[in-house]
Each structure stands twice: as structure tokens, then as C-alpha cells.
Chains A and B, each alone.
Chain A
Amino acid sequence: MISDPNPQDVTRILFESFPLWMLVTFYVVAIGAILVFLYGIWSQIRKYRRGTRSGAWTPFWPRLGTMFRLVLEHTTIRRRAPVAGAAHMFIFYGFTVLFIGTSTITLDQDITGPATGLHFWKNGFYLIFSLAMDLAGLSLIGGLLYMMYRRGWMALPRLDYHRPDRSPEDPDYDRSFYRREDWAFLWLLVIIGVTGFLVEAVRLVWLQHNPLVWDYRWWSPVGALLAQLMAGLGMEPEGAAGFRMVLWWTHGILALSFIAVIPYTKIKHIFTAMGSLMARDAQAKQRMPMADVEAERIGFSQLTDFSDKYLLNVDACTKCGRCHEACPANASGYPLSPRDLVLSLRELANDTLNGARMPAGPIEVIGTGVNMIRPETLWSCRSCAACVEICPVGVEHLPMIVQMRRSLVEAGEFDTMLQPTLKSLQKSGNSLGESKRKRPRWTQKLDFQIKDARTEPVDVLWYVGDYASFDPRSQKVTITFARILKAAGIDFGILFEDEQTAGNDVRRVGEEGLFQALAEANIELLNDCTFNSIVTTDPHTFNTIRNEYPEFGGNYTIEHASSMLERLIREGRIPQPAKLDYRVTYHDPCHLGRINGCTEAPRQVLQSVGVELVELGRSRDNSFCCGAGGGRIWLPDPPELKKPAELRAAEAAEIPGLDVLVVNCPKCLNMLEDGVKGTGNEGNFRVLELTELLAEAMGLDKKGAEEDGADEPGRSAVSA
């Protein structure tokens, strides 16, 4: 177990002058700590495996590689928090080097030494490692001190664990346990780091007459400095030997305790975050989970419906609060914080799945009890995926929310306002309660015929979508887009009465059976048509056809209108438009920008019409949802709450001299026009679709403007 150091070599002073009983005690404690650690790991894995199997870690090696790259580069941790990300990097690399260093000592001392007589922990290797360990210790302590400052003095709202959707009498209101745990964790690591340096320093003082130690002291620069200081203050080798014993044991016991408590505390994020990142679904924002609609049950209503991956997800959360800050529902005062949702699930799992036995009955997840998810929380979501986008540890909140909504829809537990919408979708394939026959009515406003893609081949099949077909304001945009396509000489057609909604919002609201029926019907129809590619002005339709239809056998080339327009301008199919003298800002639709990465084409179109683009504070992948997604456009917002669109309109209003808030989605148009009115900005700037701005630059807005005036709400003439 212990071997004499070779007097010819410099090496690590480890158990020097330890009596046997002390060595035995140390090894007993160390082995005990490791056993406690291993038991904890096993019990956590048992907890995750009480969920369903996801298979999310295959293929294993590529996923492992991607995860290590993310962790080593700290890509996800540094996003939108560069300083905290850097501090975490200091802690991470400090800790990792110290951990590797300590592990190799164990390897040398307890494995290769006793087994083969090979000791590598000496000479140059030792000296370089000694230096590296000192620097790592500095890095660790520095990072930790910054984090203490950040938690203690910066008062960041994202680190406030109080739940905005609970009242002070609720037991899960302030979550002060988390705060105490954070501080205990920080102090524990700082003390381990500091005692490490101190033990190094007193060892040098103690062995200052041993040239093998003292002459090489500057390879441990921090320890050497402290040792100089201590010696200068009059510490003698004998006294140092006593201090060394006390500090050595303090450091050792703390470090071993740290290892033992890893699986039981937030420290476990070391492992859970890596496991979670490894299981991350690159399409989590784009594609909601497939479900067997023929099965007995659908969706998640019980904790054991959650997969092992999701149970690991909720354990990986480090409460960094980035999702809490990004969520439009939370920002508008709705009872949803993605962070709190995840933490409720975590605590529920810890309360129920951690024991040796499973609880007797089903573990209901949705309800009003402590750590249960309230239905109104689930209905607050806009499916904008801002939470999934920014989560540094790969938590996939959105699919979990949709899964829980599925069980609510199946049980019929939802806002009664949603029922007419869903019935209309079942009956006529649109969400606006209109008849199928009315869908192509907007084409009557055109002075040319649009081809019927059902009966003749077209180059481009235009999937119009619900709002673009029926909403009176969006109809004008739809007509405008048709004129632009005509002007560019595009061979295009539509599906007339037979088009039904693509189903993005139907799926996200949780009506999976209806979504699948719509998808199957639409794909059958599309497969009967002859076309080269699909275009749509609706980012929701775009997302679903692009990302969700392939799973149902619908594989198409699809472009969003803005990408197509950018291409047509670039290719010269649309003549260089005139310059418009506007100061504009651009609102990225979630389903186009963040979810599908189409952020630059719309900006290039803006550039080509010569407007001055002033970016909003939150844009591109950090765009702030208008509030329409996830079926929320069908549900009334309570009047006492601010609408996300109003917050967004207020953000735009901060831009001095703004003429136009440019949107690029029929639903954003609908919501933001209301938002602009709701914030009293009606006279200050206009809300226009990108298409409308381009049409103006092309001079198309003048032509035929008089016969425009899309379908007004209400009944049109009866023909007999």
C-alpha cells in the first residue's frame, strides 16, 4: 500500500510520517466515500430507468464526441452569459486538472506501484504536474470567487428562485433549499482549494531542510509563496509538521466528502449535464415526438410516462435561469417558467422514484399538488422553443410540455374556447371555423387565374396556410405574394379547397390524433400532385412540412417565401426593386428564425429594398415570441396580463424614428398589429409583412390596390 520514496528522485510527499493507524483510517474513509458515491450513482440511474426507454444515447460514439466537444469548448454555457461562462470554464478546467492529478496519484500509489513496482509520479512528470495543479487550483478558486460575487452581489433576476406562479404560503414558493445548496457547494469547493494550497505550503515549511523538496519548491508557485510568507512570519518546521497534519486531514476529508455527496446534490450536474447533452435531440425544437395514436394511452400524465432521457434532463438543470429569462409566457406574467417546470418534475421524481420500491399507485404529474404541473402552466406555452434553444445542458422542455398537453387533450381538460377551434379543424381542416369551400375565396380578388396544382403540373406548389387564407389582414399579404410570384414569372399553383392546415399548432396544442390525420391527408394530396418544390408564407406550415412530414412519408423541398424572394432577387428574376426610405426593424418569427435558422434571407430582402434596418434588442435565435404559437392564438389572453406581443411592440417602440415593424408570418402580423394597438403605438409605426414592403418597392402596391380590400369579416353575397 505504501512504498518508500526513492531518495534519488524528487516526488510527491504523500503519507510521509503517517503512523499505520492513520493510513488505515484514511483508506477506510476513502473507500467508504467511494462506496457512497457509487451507491448514489446507481440509485440515480435506477431512478432514470424507471421512466420509459428512449434510446437517446445511440449512436453512442458520435454522440459522446459531440458532447465532449460542447463541454470542452463550453459552447452552450457561454451563450448569452460570457462572463459567467468564462468563470465556469475556469472552475471546470481547474477542477478537471486537479481531478486528473489526484487520480494519477492514486494510480501511482495504489495500482501501478503495488502491482508492478512502477512509479511515474516523480522527476519531470511530477514537477510539471505540480505546476499544473497549482495553476488549476488558482483557476478553480478564481472562478468560484467570481461565482460567489455573481450570486451574492449581482442580484440577477435569472438567479432568483422565487416562483412567480406561486404565492408565499406555497411550500415550493421560495426554494430556499436551492440557495443554501448553491452556497454550500461554492464554499465547499473554495475551502477544498484553499486548504490544498495551505497543506502544500506547510509541507514546504516542514520539509525546508530536505533539498529534494525545498529546492524544487517553485514548481508549486502558490504553495512556495505561502511557505515563504509563513516562514517569514516565523513558522518553524516542527510547528509546520503539526499544522500539516491538521490541514492534510481537513483537506482530505472535505475532498472525500465532496466525492461522496456528488450524486445526492447539485454537484451531480457534472454527470447529468454530460448525459443530458449527449442525449440532446438536434430536432427537439422542430419536431414534436411521434406517438402511437392507436395505443391505449397517449401523452404524459404519469411520471413513469416520461422517458429516461427526460428524467435525466430534469436532473441536469443547474437553475441557471436562462430559459426563465427567455420565456415569453414568463415575461408576460403567465404561470409558466420552463425552469420551474423542470424543477417541479425533478422534485417529484426525487420524492417518488428514489426509493428502493416504487410507490403503489400511478404517480400523477398534472395537478395542483406540490411539485405537480398545473394545467394552466402547460397551456401558457407558446412553443417558441426559446427555452430549448438556450438551455446549456440540453433540457428539452417543449416536447415534454406537448406530451403533457396530449394527455390533457385526451382527457378533454382544456380551455373551452379551444373546443370550437378543434371541432372546426376536424370538420373543415381550418382553425377559423370556415367552410372548406371558402379557403380559396381570396383568389377572386386577383386579376389573373392561379393554377390548380391538383389538376396540372406546376413548378412551385404554394401551400397557403390557414391565416393566410382566411384572416382578412393576412389575405391582403397573400394577394400581394401572388402578384409578386406572377411578376417574377413563377409557374405556381395552389390546392384550392383541398388544402387543410398543415397542423403545426394542432400538434403543439396536443391533439396528436388530429395532427396525424391532417398530415396523412395533406401528404396523400401532395403526393398526387406534380411539382418541384413547395413555398409558404407561414413559418408554422414551413416548419411542419419541412421537419415533421418526413416521418409520415412526405419528403419535399420547401422554402419559406422570404428565402424564395431573396433567391429571386439574387437571380435577377425580380428586377432590382426601388429603394424605400424607411427606418425599419425586423421581428424574427420563432418558427423561421430560431427553430429553422432562416434569419439572413429576410434581412437580405430588406437590404435590397434599401431600408435602414435597426435590429431589435432580441433578434435571430433570441427573438421574442409574438405569443401566437402552440395554439395560443386560438385562446384568449386574460385582460389583466400583458400580451407577449405588447412587450414586443414596446421593444420596437424604443427604436427612435421607427417607420415599420417588419414581420414575416401571418400569425405574427395578427398578434403584433394588436400589440401595437394595445401599447398605443398605432400612430407611431406600421406593422407590415416583408412581402408587402417588397411589393411596394416593386411598385406592385399601386397596381390593383383599388380592387383590393380583402374579404371583410361577415357574410358575403349569396349566389343562387
Chain B
Amino acid sequence: MKILVPVKQIASLDDQFEMRDDGRDVDDDYFEKDLNEFDHFSVEQALLIKEAAGDGVEVVVAIVGDDDADDALRTVLAKGADRGIRVWDDALAGADGIVVAKILAKLVEREKPDMVFTGAQSTDFGSAATGMALAGILGWPHAAVVSHLDYTPGAPSATLRRELEGGLEEVMSIRCPAVLSIQLGINQPRYASLRGIKQAKQKQVDELSPDDLGLGEDDLRPASNVRRMYVPERGKAELITGTAAEQAARLAEIIKEIRGM
């Protein structure tokens, strides 16, 4: 019995930053790298299932990223995941969720997990596409924004709840294996002490390249490309106060200003 949990190392942005020279991203200097907030919850969900089942459940975490991403991987290994897989090649620098999903699909072929848990989305780009794309490639059922899960390892189906718009909740059962995108708040993620993170260095991490997984250059071409990233100009707002006459005068003034009169 195996659960695969793909995680992501996200960039958290400082409140003062500068753009990269090519204008397609923020300068690296203004990031701090961190484990995606949602992934704390997906990992926790896998660990809770592992602990409830006693022995016999393996939790494998996978990440697509350069060696910087080892920090994120070690954090989840410290929480109790059994081993890690890191996939990287410099050609992946511009990878989008679809490319990542292709890589993960190859990992699923290789690892043959019974379930895949992803975070509902990443906190930096927020596309929420990877889990869905992975399920699509695999032809597995997918549930997004899972806020509650009843699943016994090895069971043919799982029962889950999803958060819908307007405060609605949906209860559904899903055929396993499946890809579930886990929502914040489904559980209470545990803390990984720094000591634990250091000791997690001893856990097995397989480093693979797309090539090892049988993916060629064409497979790694992103479906989308960032053309420009910028800070939109701020809108203006002003609270007009005073008597009706004063307010009207100010309003007239503003209209004149805008029309350049």
C-alpha cells in the first residue's frame, strides 16, 4: 500500500521587490523559498492514514525542482514520509503545471501508488492545475478541494467532502486509485522540528531526470508561457466629504482633472 504525495517549493514574495531584467518574473533575490502551504495538509493526510493503518503504508513524496527544493523535501520527510523523489533538469526551469503533471504521471507508473494526494493549489501561481492534469493523463478519478476524507488503505473507494462555492458542501465517493487535491484545514499539520529536518537527510531521496523517466525534450515544453509580469498601476479612490455643495465642487474639480481641462 502506497500513497504518493507530490509537493512543491514555492516562492514567497517580500513586500518590497524588483522585477527580473527580462520582465517575466520577480528577481530571485526577493523570494524566500518555502514548502507550499497546501502541501502541509496533503502530507499530513497521508501520514494520518499511514499512522491509523499501522504498518504497511508507505508515504512517498515527490518534488520537481533543483537542489534548493531539497529543503522542502526534507521538511516533509521530517514529518514522517518514508522516502522522497526529486526530479530535475535545467530544461524544466520554465515548467508549468502540465509539464509537472506529465512527470508525475511517469512517477505514478514507476511507483504504482494506491492514491495520489496533491495540495489544492500552490500559493505562488495558484493554477490548481497539476492535480487535475495528472488525473487526466492517468485516466484516474479526481476530486478537487477535498475538505474531509474517509479512506481505508486498500479499499476500492473513498468517501470525501468537498467545499463548493456559496458555502455548499458536497459528499461524494470516489473509485480508487484516485488523485485528490487537498484543501487547507482538512487536518492540523504537524510541526517538523529543525532537528527532525536535519535527521531527514538520512532518508532515501532518489534523484531522477526526465530522461530517466522516458520523457524527451518535446514532453517538457510548457503548455503556457509567461510573457510579462508587472505590478498593475494602483487605482485611485478618494472619499469626498463636506456639505453637498462642497462635495459637488470637489467632484467637478476631479472631473476636470481627469478630462485634462
Range of interface residues on B (Cβ < 8 Å): 20 to 34
Q: How far is the CB of A442 from chain B (nearest CB, A)?
A: 14
Q: How far is the CB of A520 from chain B (nearest CB, A)?
A: 11
Q: How far is the CB of A29 from chain B (nearest CB, A)?
A: 57
Contacts known (A437-B14, A438-B14); A513 close to B30, Cβ less than 8 A:
no
A436 to B34, CA, bound (A): 13
Is residue A414 within 8 Å, beta carbon to beta carbon, of the partner chain?
Answer: yes
Is residue A427 within 8 Å, beta carbon to beta carbon, of the partner chain?
Answer: yes
What chain B residues lie within 8 Å of A511 (beta carbons)? Answer: 193-194
Number of A interface residues at 8 Å Cβ cutoff, please give it. Answer: 30
Within 8 A of B (CB), among A281-339: 293-294, 298
- Report whether A718 and B193 are in contact in the complex, using a CB–CB cutoff of 8 Å: no
- Report whether B194 and A517 are in contact in the complex, using a CB–CB cutoff of 8 Å: yes
What chain B residues lie within 8 Å of A514 (beta carbons)? Answer: 193-195
What chain A residues lie within 8 Å of B14 (beta carbons)? Answer: 435, 437-438
A434 to B198, CA, bound (A): 23
Contacts known (A438-B15, A720-B18); A293 close to B191, Cβ less than 8 A:
no
- Report whether B32 and A436 are in contact in the complex, using a CB–CB cutoff of 8 Å: yes
Instruction: Name the one of B19, B191, B231 contacting A412, with C-beta atoms under 8 angstroms.
Output: B191
Q: How far is the CB of A366 from chain B (nearest CB, A)?
A: 16
A6 to B134, CA, bound (A): 108
Is residue A716 within 8 Å, beta carbon to beta carbon, of the partner chain?
Answer: yes
Is residue A396 within 8 Å, beta carbon to beta carbon, of the partner chain?
Answer: no
What chain B residues lie within 8 Å of A418 (beta carbons)? Answer: 191
- Report whether B191 and A716 are in contact in the complex, using a CB–CB cutoff of 8 Å: no
Chain B residue with Cβ nearest A410: B193
A244 to B179, CA, bound (A): 95
Q: How far is the CB of B221 from chain A (nearest CB, A)?
A: 31
- Report whether B193 and A409 are in contact in the complex, using a CB–CB cutoff of 8 Å: yes
A716 to B14, CA, bound (A): 11
Cβ proximity bits B112-130 to A, threshold 8 Å, 1 near / 0 not? 0000000000000000000
Q: How far is the CB of A716 from chain B (nearest CB, A)?
A: 6
Contacts known (A715-B15, A716-B15); A426 close to B194, Cβ less than 8 A:
yes
- Report whether B34 and A513 are in contact in the complex, using a CB–CB cutoff of 8 Å: no
What chain A residues lie within 8 Å of B193 (beta carbons)? Answer: 409-410, 412, 511, 513-514
Is residue A449 within 8 Å, beta carbon to beta carbon, of the partner chain?
Answer: no
What chain B residues lie within 8 Å of A716 (beta carbons)? Answer: 15-16
Within 8 A of B (CB), among A398-441: 409-410, 412, 414, 416, 418-419, 422-423, 426-428, 435-438
Within 8 A of B (CB), among A7-58: none
Q: How far is the CB of A439 from chain B (nearest CB, A)?
A: 11
Is residue A368 within 8 Å, beta carbon to beta carbon, of the partner chain?
Answer: no
- Report whether B16 and A437 are in contact in the complex, using a CB–CB cutoff of 8 Å: yes
A514 to B197, CA, bound (A): 10
Is residue A719 within 8 Å, beta carbon to beta carbon, of the partner chain?
Answer: yes
Contacts known (A410-B193, A435-B32, A514-B194); A294 close to B199, Cβ less than 8 A:
yes
Is residue A512 within 8 Å, beta carbon to beta carbon, of the partner chain?
Answer: yes
Contacts known (A435-B15, A716-B15, A719-B18); A419 close to B195, Cβ less than 8 A:
no
Q: How far is the CB of A438 from chain B (nearest CB, A)?
A: 7
- Report whether A427 and B32 are in contact in the complex, using a CB–CB cutoff of 8 Å: yes
Contacts known (A416-B188, A514-B193); A293 close to B198, Cβ less than 8 A:
yes
- Report whether A437 and B30 are in contact in the complex, using a CB–CB cutoff of 8 Å: yes
What chain A residues lie within 8 Å of B230 (beta carbons)? Answer: 720
Within 8 A of A (CB), among B4-48: 12, 14-19, 30, 32, 34
Is residue B190 within 8 Å, beta carbon to beta carbon, of the partner chain?
Answer: yes
Q: How far is the CB of A433 from chain B (nearest CB, A)?
A: 10
Chain A residue with Cβ nearest B15: A715
Contacts known (A435-B14, A716-B15, A716-B16); A428 close to B194, Cβ less than 8 A:
no
Instruction: Name the one of A437, A512, A715, A717 contacting B195, with C-beta atoms under 8 angstroms.
Output: A512
Instruction: Name the one of B16, B18, B189, B196 contacting A410, with C-beta atoms under 8 angstroms.
Output: B196
- Report whether A298 and B195 are in contact in the complex, using a CB–CB cutoff of 8 Å: yes
Instruction: Name the one of A412, A427, A512, A717 contacting B34, with C-beta atoms under 8 angstroms.
Output: A427
A453 to B199, CA, bound (A): 34
Cβ proximity bits B183-217 to A, threshold 8 Å, 1 near / 0 not? 00000111101111111000000000000000000
Cβ proximity bits A600-622 to B, threshold 8 Å, 1 near / 0 not? 00000000000000000000000
Q: How far is the CB of A298 from chain B (nearest CB, A)?
A: 6
Chain A residue with Cβ nearest B79: A412
Q: How far is the CB of B203 from chain A (nearest CB, A)?
A: 15
A423 to B36, CA, bound (A): 12
What chain B residues lie within 8 Å of A426 (beta carbons)? Answer: 194, 197
Q: How far is the CB of B252 from chain A (nearest CB, A)?
A: 30
Chain B residue with Cβ nearest A513: B195
A438 to B12, CA, bound (A): 14
What chain A residues lie within 8 Å of B196 (beta carbons)? Answer: 410, 513
A715 to B230, CA, bound (A): 18
Contacts known (A409-B191, A410-B193, A718-B231); A513 close to B198, Cβ less than 8 A:
yes
What chain B residues lie within 8 Å of A294 (beta carbons)? Answer: 198-199
Cβ proximity bits B154-173 to A, threshold 8 Å, 1 near / 0 not? 00000000000000000000
Chain A residue with Cβ nearest B80: A412
- Report whether A720 and B19 are in contact in the complex, using a CB–CB cutoff of 8 Å: yes
Instruction: Name the one of B30, B189, B195, B231 contacting A293, with C-beta atoms under 8 angstroms.
Output: B195
- Report whether A412 and B190 are in contact in the complex, using a CB–CB cutoff of 8 Å: yes
- Report whether B32 and A428 are in contact in the complex, using a CB–CB cutoff of 8 Å: yes
Max chain A Cβ within 10 angstroms of own Cβ: one of B190, B191, B196, B199: B191
Within 8 A of B (CB), among A676-720: 715-720
Contacts known (A513-B196, A720-B231); A414 close to B16, Cβ less than 8 A:
no
A382 to B88, CA, bound (A): 46
A522 to B193, CA, bound (A): 19
Chain B residue with Cβ nearest A293: B195
Chain A residue with Cβ nearest B189: A419
What chain A residues lie within 8 Å of B198 (beta carbons)? Answer: 293-294, 513, 517
- Report whether B191 and A718 are in contact in the complex, using a CB–CB cutoff of 8 Å: no
Chain A residue with Cβ nearest B33: A427
A426 to B33, CA, bound (A): 11
What chain B residues lie within 8 Å of A438 (beta carbons)? Answer: 14-16
A435 to B32, CA, bound (A): 8
A311 to B244, CA, bound (A): 80
A416 to B194, CA, bound (A): 17
Within 8 A of A (CB), among B215-239: 230-231
A520 to B173, CA, bound (A): 51
Chain A residue with Cβ nearest B230: A720
- Report whether A513 and B194 are in contact in the complex, using a CB–CB cutoff of 8 Å: yes
A716 to B197, CA, bound (A): 34
Q: How far is the CB of A295 from chain B (nearest CB, A)?
A: 9
- Report whether B32 and A410 are in contact in the complex, using a CB–CB cutoff of 8 Å: no
What chain B residues lie within 8 Å of A715 (beta carbons)? Answer: 15
Chain A residue with Cβ nearest B34: A427
What chain B residues lie within 8 Å of A720 (beta carbons)? Answer: 18-19, 230-231
Q: How far is the CB of A18 from chain B (nearest CB, A)?
A: 69
A146 to B121, CA, bound (A): 73
Contacts known (A427-B32, A428-B32, A436-B32); A410 close to B15, Cβ less than 8 A:
no
A423 to B75, CA, bound (A): 11
Cβ proximity bits B75-119 to A, threshold 8 Å, 1 near / 0 not? 000000000000000000000000000000000000000000000
A422 to B197, CA, bound (A): 13
Chain B residue with Cβ nearest A717: B16
Contacts A410-B196, A438-B15 aside, 5 further interface pairs with beta carbons under 8 A come to A427-B32, A435-B32, A437-B16, A517-B194, A719-B17
Can you show 5 pairs from A to B with CB atoms below 8 A apart?
Answer: A418-B191, A517-B194, A717-B16, A719-B16, A720-B19
The 4 closest A-B pairs by CB, nearest first: A513-B195, A513-B194, A514-B194, A412-B190
